Chains A and B, each alone.
Chain A
Amino acid sequence: MTSSPSMPAGVLGPGITPEKILDKVAGLVLHRPMNLLWLAALAMAAGGGAVLTLSIGYLFYEGTGVWGINQPVGWGFAISNYVFWVAIAMGGTFISSGLLLARQHWRTSINRFAETMTLLAALNAGLYPALHLGSPWVFYYLFPYPNSMALWPQFRSPLIWDVVAIGLYLSVSVSLWYVGLIPDFAMLRDRATDRRRKLIFGFFALGWRGSSRHWKRYQVTYLLLAGLTVPVVFSVHSVTAADFATTLLPWWHETILPPYFIAGAIFSGVAMAVLLAIPMRAVYGLHDYITEAHLNAAGKLILTGGLIVTYTYIAEVWASWYGGDLYEWFQTRSYFAGPYAWCWWVAVVCNGIVPQLLWFPRVRRNSLLMWLICSDILIGMWTERFMILVPVLQKGHLPSVWGFYVPTWIDWSTFIGTIGFFAFGFLLFLRYLPMLSSSELMELSHVTDAGRHLPTEFSPDHAG
């Protein structure tokens, strides 16, 4: 089995042929029996979704007062969890688009579920800004729509940038995800035996028939879309950072925030992908498709992200000392020893120290260790989002209005609910959609065992 320089060995297991791929991918969707484990998981996830619905209902009935937010701390869980979920989404998009541009073949077998992860996380993220409104019944004031008041949104506000960016991000992710699915839908249409599935898949396949003219336009467009999605990723998280960076508050009023947030996003996003990939390949026997090579490469990515995040921690502390701003330095000290100092230290340990294990290839290739490290990173990143938000608001410029924030049970139930919603969507995806991209895999396998030429999708001369 030969391999070209841009193709790490073992991206696919030995002897993987198009036939095997077809049987695997189609089989998972068409011929897999209903599985009790899956049903149980789905039930649990649905329970989580119900909790979310109830929490939201209660919130809308009573008002934002049911949360722990108060006078100095106007934003609490809602916004920190929003940032957390956006970050997860970013990671998925980065895998599917960023790696595509970077010609990383190993993305091929994980991009499909990475994109799905992106989609669901982005939905969660998009939910929070709507929930945190004091008057959600007039949420549409946030959109530029023609109205009798002749009023417009206030385009200088980072929140409006948020609305635009999140809206764009959602639509872009959905489009990219669906375009990638079209050839697989066609394949399923043609393999499906019963009329019902033929009709359903046929409908979503939009009449795809694999004409090489279509393939060419398809690839050119896919490359363009991927190329455009990457800046969206960066803009969305930069805007999220701008929600904080454009304010006057110490530790928010900083230019380092956007890159800081983006690094953190890729960091936690890839971690989330691995977190999902490891059990997935175990349950569905995808070891030939998600191999050690994948874990290894992902590990390197995570390590890089972790190093950047750690750097920003250090840089911020240093800048607040070197800048000599009274309030900045005060905030720094309360990070070290303040009421929420534990957030700071948890973040430093989970995101700064533990990931250093990934320097060792043995660790990167060990699925159990990888899984543990990724969970640790997700905990760390969640804490970091909280750490960025709450302590800063608690102690502003005037000591007379210092306050304290404690999340209420409804804060918690909402967050847990979003996790349930995420799991619910993901489980449905695993059951009813091809979790691997068959056409891309067949192409890849054809390339790997024939080894005659690079896979077309990666060669710019073809993308003309």
Chain B
Amino acid sequence: MTKAQSQRSANAAEAAFRAAVSAEFPEGAAVWDDAVSRRNFLRLMGASLALAGLAGCGRSAPPAEIVPAVKDSSETQAGRPTYFSSTMPFNGYGRGVLVVSREGRPVKIEGNPDHPASLGATDVFMQASLLDLYDPDRSKSATEAGVSRPLSNLNTEISARLSRLPDGNGLRLLTRNVTSPTVTAQLKQILRRFPRAKWHVHDPVADAAPALAEPVDAVYDLTGASVIVSLDSDFLFAEPGSLRFARQFSDARRVRRDKAQMNRLYVAESTMTMTGSAADHRIPMDPFGIVELVWALASEVGVALHDITSDSPLAAPPTSSEPARRWATLIAEDLRRAGSGNSILMPGLWQPPSVHELAHAINCKLGNVGRTVYFIDPVAAQGAASFAELVADLRAGAVDTLLILDGNPAYDAPADSGFAHALTEMTNKTSGGNYASLTLHLGTHSNETAFACRWHVPMAHWLESWGDARAFDGTASLTQPLIAPLYDGVTIAEFLDGVLGHPPRGGFAILRDYWKQQVTGDFDAWWLKTLQDGVVADSASKPRAMPELKLLPPTSAAPASGHIAIFRPDPTIWTGEFANNPWLQELPKPFTKLTWDNAIGIGIGLARSLGANGEMLKDGDGIRITIDGRTLEGPAILLPGQAENTVLLSLGYGRDQGGSLLIENGKPRGYNANILRSTAHRGSAAISVIEGTGKKTTLATAQNHHAMAIEPGVPGIEPFLKPDVVAKLGMSVDALSLSNRKLIRTVTLQQFQADSRFMDKLAPDEKPPLLSLFRELPRAAELQWGMVIDTTTCIGCNACVIACQAENNIPVVGKSEVINQREMHWIRIDDYFDGPVENPSVYHQPVPCMHCEDAPCEIVCPVGATTHSPEGLNEMTYNRCVGTRFCSNNCPYKVRRFNFLLYSDYQKDSRSLQYNPDVSVRNRGVMEKCTYCVQRIDRTRVQMQRDVVQLRELAAAANTDAERQQLTKLAEQRGKQVVDGLETACQQSCPTRAIIFGNIADPQAEVSKAKAEPANYTLLRNLTTKPRTSYLARVTNPNPAWSGPNPGEGHSA
């Protein structure tokens, strides 16, 4: 590159940077942003941003044309929500969303039904990432060595360095997993412009992906599969395609009177996952057991390995242990019975390549490839240099300029890589009083990596960004901003554009220019349509041929000590990027109900062996784990179904930079499991020493009981209630007689098919009809709201809990208040366990308000603050409540929540900008609870009335009688369909559609049909509260050929 060129590029780069941060309105005024919303917006933002530390520079609508989803009228009116389709990047992969905007603020995130990775559903991360936008701890200005500096300094330095580097030698880019076509293209350009520059990728999750001989992504279609075998794959929750898989999976399990068919799920896993809890047969195994199982399965199915690989001689299968072989025979038999192409083997992300290859081989043998499984070229951008290489070069001092774009490698890189140390060293290297090199971090928070770098530049939240991403199946979709960057953040694309030295232009132009080149034909029409739909039409990757498989030798046998650490992302704060998100911190983790902390999950056996002087380890007792000389301490928590000799270490905690919530009493919250991970073993590692420390900590669990026995005294139940709980209850488990409470009911598919009256057998005492001592009031209205929750399809993913929290402005109470048993979630998920603690069946039971017909809470309220609506809603009148808490005492379901203190932050915290304007924020001393989203009911009602009026007007203005009559009829019809598009927040978010809500007075409504199902039952019917919320019994489909206690043998508890 000539001097002139480099000079030009340098100037360009500088200009670009200045532009990127100072750009206020690069493009024309946004069409949708009318005066009303802008005024509101400025006022609201002014209120909080002043507090958030930003001088009241008025933020306004996004600086470019953003296009509402077709689902709603395109002009925004104050008081009415507008929906915009966008894309949330998660682990790099795109998930389509519909963002609800109120008066210029994004206030809620829904799934985009048109997006293949969402299908209208959301998970906890999509729901909660909205709150990160308003996080007061986001970094607000560029800093050099921790001091706020004008970006012009950075611009000059970068341009200087770029001009100095021959062919960009010493320029390094470090990104997370990249699927964005635009960014991918930009990276390619940069590598072309600076041939000796290097691009590296580090991603705490995606890095675990097995390196097959030939890089491919496997995509699954569960619709046709009657037998599903998960090899440690948490495909219902933790995979990029989970929401889609969950929908397909549950659709095939939704048992009804007229459709008594369902698929069968085998799960072999080391620690209890959502997928494992949904299994018909769950096989707890340590990672080595899983390897054994898949080999045994291969030989059972008769995979002649040369069928699929050119390699020979074959690696010899390991000698499988007895259980592995037994299961293999059983499953293989079932797979064969399923027939060709009707089954799936799904290898888990954290499994070694050999498992993946064998699974694919078996799939191929069973004729699944092309039917339920197909392969595509990797969605993530390829061609990155390895992370290890970067660390090596750092050590060697071969790096001059390191640009870390998003991510937090200094925290989540495997400890043995020594990245953090190398980075710090490089940052602090000086020559002649100046910094020798440049390290820069671009991110939304000033996290550990920003701390280790010299420069930190605020990154725009995805809700502030123009961008694009590809879903797990390759489908591309666009991200459009709902709001101008609150803190002058720039996107990765804008940053790279600057590096490329383009003249200053916003992300909008970058994105448009990229896609202009991709699209043929009328681009503007395409652009409008794509923004509306949120999906680039038929952009999904085309299936490709079966990859070449080199059968790698199986992983070695189990280590001497026999204990294995399993590393998994935390089910609520993932790998730490959500660690400053109060919703997710307070979200009870599945199975343990732990909040605000991570604990070391151990099985009952380990608890026994680690316990001092014959006592077994209790929740909160300290454990010390040593791996290769690196030690970690943390509180233990008992995990039912944890594979023997395995220990669960969850990632994401133990951080110390980038948010007030990360710190607890001056120390990092929780332990940092990354210090035990190594590049070689990301998913699991052999433990050298594990011992109890004798320390005790109080864990904030939202439920202190941990289990429910189906039949008192069943062997294996005894240790089931956690010892401290038993101590608290002070009596033996059978004394608790939990079984007869009939809260959970479950039958096998066989029983369901055989006998439609099985429910009578499950709860014989419920046969007599309920009597009332008084003459009940007639149902006044023709609309009668009711809900059914299908426990067969509920996977306990918590999406409903966060969706409800976001919709209803539910406050977060903090760790100490959770310990005081004062959490506020309106819908909670009760986890019940049944069977031997080593491998129990798990039952998830979401419990919102039951909206009882004869509500016990209403009768005891002295001031009539809780009353019944003619439509059957049990309503709270907040400003009438005096807070006697009598209603809560008298609620058998304990679904009422009380503001013991002032939990809601009114305008104190910029997070309050997220508040849903349709729902009042509750004051101290007020009772609250689930309302069936009454604000949504009323909005649909208003919409209906508006439509009816319009139709009538049209009818009045019609020319011909025919028209008039037709329009009048239409008006009448519309008037009847109040419930059109009415969904409660929990129902809308549910990936498995387990929650059904609607008008039970209409026999044709889905909810009425569900209530007519034989499996329908209500909680505590004998109390004659007559709940409007009812449940469908859990139907399981165990393999009849399987001997031994069936997980879901017809019983209730």
Within 8 A of A (CB), among B868-888: 880-886, 888
Within 8 A of B (CB), among A42-83: 62-65, 69-72, 74-75
Q: Which of A138, A159, A393, A400 contacts B705 (CB 8 A)?
A: A400
Nearest CB in chain A: distance from B768 CB, A: 15
B737 within 8 A of A: yes
> Which residues of A have CB within 8 Å of B888?
71, 74
Contact call A334/B729, Cβ cutoff below 8 A: yes
Closest residue of A by beta carbon distance from B732: A337
Within 8 A of B (CB), among A150-178: 151-154, 156-160, 163
* Partner-binding segment picked from A127-135, A277-285, A456-464: A127-135
Q: Which of A138, A248, A337 contacts B856 (CB 8 A)?
A: A248
Contact call B894/A337, Cβ cutoff below 8 A: no
A33 to B206, CA, bound (A): 90
A398 to B863, CA, bound (A): 27
> Which residues of B have CB within 8 Å of A72?
821, 894
Contact call A338/B729, Cβ cutoff below 8 A: yes
A228 within 8 A of B: no
> Which residues of A have CB within 8 Å of B743?
398-399
B970 within 8 A of A: no
Contact call B860/A141, Cβ cutoff below 8 A: no
* Partner-binding segment picked from B184-192, B322-330, B922-930: B922-930
B994 within 8 A of A: no
Contact call B894/A65, Cβ cutoff below 8 A: no
A339 within 8 A of B: yes
Nearest CB in chain A: distance from B812 CB, A: 15
B736 within 8 A of A: yes
| A133-B925 contact given A63-B901, A71-B823, A400-B703, CB 8 Å threshold | yes
> Which residues of B have CB within 8 Å of A158?
860
Nearest CB in chain B: distance from A336 CB, A: 8
A16 within 8 A of B: no
Q: Which of A63, A153, A337, A403 contacts B864 (CB 8 A)?
A: A153
> Which residues of B have CB within 8 Å of A393?
889
A249 within 8 A of B: yes
> Which residues of A have CB within 8 Å of B898?
71, 74, 134
Contact call B893/A398, Cβ cutoff below 8 A: yes
> Which residues of B have CB within 8 Å of A71?
821-823, 888, 894, 897-898
Nearest CB in chain A: distance from B637 CB, A: 17
Nearest CB in chain A: distance from B235 CB, A: 27
Contact call B1023/A248, Cβ cutoff below 8 A: yes
| A333-B735 contact given A141-B863, A163-B862, A397-B1023, CB 8 Å threshold | yes
Q: Which of B885, B886, B894 contacts A401 (CB 8 A)?
A: B894
B648 within 8 A of A: no
Closest residue of B by beta carbon distance from A325: B1022
Within 8 A of A (CB), among B722-762: 728-731, 735-738, 740-741, 743
- Residue of B738, B823, B845, B925 with most partner-chain A CB within 10 A: B925
How many contacts between A and B, using CB within 8 angstroms? 177
Nearest CB in chain A: distance from B1012 CB, A: 26
A204 within 8 A of B: no
A75 to B885, CA, bound (A): 7
Contact call A396/B864, Cβ cutoff below 8 A: no
Closest residue of B by beta carbon distance from A67: B900
Within 8 A of A (CB), among B899-913: 899-902
Nearest CB in chain A: distance from B998 CB, A: 26
B704 within 8 A of A: yes
Nearest CB in chain A: distance from B382 CB, A: 48
Contact call A337/B892, Cβ cutoff below 8 A: no
B932 within 8 A of A: no
B847 within 8 A of A: yes
| A63-B925 contact given A141-B863, A159-B884, CB 8 Å threshold | yes
B417 within 8 A of A: no
| A142-B730 contact given A63-B924, A71-B894, A159-B862, CB 8 Å threshold | no
Mark each residue of chain A from 9 to 36: 1 if its CB lies under 8 Å from any CB of chain B, else 0: 0000000000000000000000000000
Contact call A135/B883, Cβ cutoff below 8 A: yes
Mark each residue of chain A from 379 to 409: 1 if its CB lies under 8 Å from any CB of chain B, else 0: 0000000000000010111111111100000
Within 8 A of B (CB), among A214-241: none
> Which residues of B have CB within 8 Å of A333?
731, 735
Nearest CB in chain A: distance from B281 CB, A: 26
> Which residues of B have CB within 8 Å of A69?
885, 900
Closest residue of B by beta carbon distance from A142: B862
| A399-B861 contact given A70-B820, A72-B894, A248-B856, CB 8 Å threshold | no
Contact call A135/B862, Cβ cutoff below 8 A: no
A397 to B925, CA, bound (A): 25
Within 8 A of A (CB), among B672-710: 703-705, 708
Contact call A151/B864, Cβ cutoff below 8 A: yes
Closest residue of A by beta carbon distance from B739: A326
> Which residues of B have CB within 8 Å of A399?
705, 708, 736, 738, 741, 743
A341 within 8 A of B: yes
A141 to B901, CA, bound (A): 21
Q: Which of B828, B832, B863 contacts A142 (CB 8 A)?
A: B863
B541 within 8 A of A: no
Closest residue of A by beta carbon distance from B887: A74
A420 to B705, CA, bound (A): 40
Contact call B860/A246, Cβ cutoff below 8 A: yes
- Residue of B882, B897, B901 with most partner-chain A CB within 10 A: B882
Contact call A157/B823, Cβ cutoff below 8 A: no
Contact call B927/A154, Cβ cutoff below 8 A: no
A139 within 8 A of B: yes
Q: Which of A139, A400, A404 contacts B830 (CB 8 A)?
A: A400
Mark each residue of chain B from 133 to 163: 1 if its CB lies under 8 Å from any CB of chain A, else 0: 0000000000000000000000000000000
A373 to B885, CA, bound (A): 36
> Which residues of A have CB within 8 Å of B861?
154, 157
A429 within 8 A of B: no
A321 within 8 A of B: no
| A338-B889 contact given A135-B925, A159-B860, CB 8 Å threshold | no
Mark each residue of chain B from 805 to 837: 1 if its CB lies under 8 Å from any CB of chain A, else 0: 000000000000100111100001010100000
A255 within 8 A of B: no
> Which residues of A have CB within 8 Å of B899?
63, 134
Contact call B737/A157, Cβ cutoff below 8 A: no
- Residue of A152, A248, A337, A404 with most partner-chain B CB within 10 A: A248
A345 within 8 A of B: no
A141 to B877, CA, bound (A): 13
Closest residue of B by beta carbon distance from A243: B886
> Which residues of A have CB within 8 Å of B57?
none
A338 to B1025, CA, bound (A): 28
A366 within 8 A of B: no
A4 within 8 A of B: no
A71 to B894, CA, bound (A): 8
| A156-B859 contact given A64-B925, A403-B821, CB 8 Å threshold | yes
Interface, chain B (partner A; CB < 8 A): 703-705, 708, 728-731, 735-738, 740-741, 743, 817, 820-823, 828, 830, 832, 845, 847, 856, 859-864, 880-886, 888-890, 892-894, 897-902, 923-927, 1019-1020, 1023, 1025
Closest 8 CB pairs of A and B: A134-B883, A134-B925, A74-B885, A65-B900, A65-B901, A135-B925, A400-B830, A159-B862
Given contacts A65-B820, A65-B822, A163-B862, 13 further A-B pairs with CB under 8 A are: A70-B821, A72-B894, A74-B885, A74-B898, A139-B882, A156-B859, A248-B856, A338-B731, A397-B1020, A398-B830, A401-B703, A401-B893, A404-B821
Interface, chain A (partner B; CB < 8 A): 62-65, 69-72, 74-75, 132-136, 138-139, 141-142, 151-154, 156-160, 163, 243, 246-249, 326, 329-330, 333-334, 337-339, 341, 393, 395-404
A-B contact pairs, 28 of them (CB 8 A): A63-B900, A64-B900, A64-B925, A65-B817, A69-B900, A75-B889, A133-B883, A134-B924, A139-B882, A141-B863, A141-B882, A151-B880, A153-B864, A157-B859, A249-B890, A326-B741, A330-B737, A333-B735, A337-B730, A338-B730, A339-B730, A399-B736, A399-B743, A400-B828, A400-B847, A402-B705, A404-B704, A404-B728
